[in-house]
Structure 1
Amino acid sequence: MRLLGFIGASRLAAARDALPAQVEAWREQWCFADEATVWNIRCEAEQALDANDLHWQQAGQANRRLAVGSRTADSWRRAVFGPHAAQLPDDTSARHLLEQARLALVNALLQALGQSPVPGLSDTAPEAPGAVLSPRVLLRIELGDDALYCLLDAALFDSALPPLATPAALVERKQAIGGARVRLTLQLPLTELALGDIDGLSPGDVLRAKSRLDQPLTLASESGDVLAKGYLARQQDRLALQLTK
């Protein structure tokens, strides 16, 4: 069954940081100089690949595979031997050198991502290259009017990603609230009072309320949100509110 997914921004950034430099280093070690051919190395999501008629080889296991492909058999010959490709005989020595060059590129990319090198490549194609919702990075090496392609599974980039921040441990709600305080309001309907009498109020004065002692009072927050209801009570020498809801 084909894995579905996508390449996130972090893995694509890791590919752009690590892979083009490895291709350039491989080019200097394995390829004949060809000033007439400009190399363009790009990393992008696999959906940008036109996979028609590509020849593939790959290495790796499970979801850590790396595949290399080309349009024709001459693509690798042109990349490695440059201006001498046309004069190169198609013999055992030339084919062996091309095989070693491909393997060297694969291992350079793997080692740049913290992976172990592989001893060889198999003549098998990756599953559904260029498909939508495929979790692979496409490394495109453009050589003038030709190109080489590499498909790298997303899991190969795990070691190249920055470590995830450790989330804060969950705590009990009571502990999280801690000593936070909120002002509460007890809504007690009073009888009418003349404005002139308000100026004469002082601590200890008694105001008559409309509510009876057997009627519930409302406890609200400072913003007016009702929090609970209860009845007047006494705790030691203080008046209190006994909550019912």
Structure 2
Amino acid sequence: MASISALGGHVDASALRHLTLKDSAEEIVRRALLSGSMKPGEIYSANSLSAQLGVSNSPTREAMMALAGKGLLEVVRNRGFRVVEMSDRDKQEVYDLRLLIEVEAVRRVAAAGVDQSEALVLKNLTEKTIETAGTEDMLEYLEADQAFHCHLVGLLGNRRWLAIVENLRDQSRITGSYHLKERGMLMSSAEEHRGIIEAVLAGDDRRAAELMTRHLDYARPDSGTA
């Protein structure tokens, strides 16, 4: 049975006080998946994680079952949970759906227009992604990147659409998007957010969709960067 000892190093323990036990455990495991500290093919026990967090087994198992339902873990009968291994076909399916759903969401936000208060939030989130890219802390960058894109999509006011985008983005980044850092593309990817937001705030929906499509190119399985 694999150890999950690396989980705690990336989590602000104070965050546990603001979430339910199940949601806290789910966020911790999700971050471990993104960071790559949980390895594909290894079996992980809900009991082990429960002991580490100092909570009962029930909320931890619920959290891991929820992540299995999102396609990030898979249940191994009578043993525990295994990190999903994304095949090239899996990656292609996720990429195709993101092109259809995430790009269209950004286009619609641009077409609808964004008020000044939300424009300021988007600009701040943009600069946060660039700031974290400069530190080269991949886990913090991935979280800042997620906050930027999900806030943008969230402006549609469609909770189900947002949930689908959040899930697709997590599926595309299981075990970390470290190819961006390894290929020296992290900062350039972060800086692309500025162009996307400029197009959105200008109400140029065609340009926003074009830039968002280009931005997602890093996730294309045959791009050499996925």
Instruction: Compute the TM-score of the two structures, normalised by the length of structure 2.
Output: 0.23
**Which structure is higher in helix share?**
2
Which of 1 and 2 has greater Rg?
Answer: 1
Normalized per residue, the structure richer in strand is 1
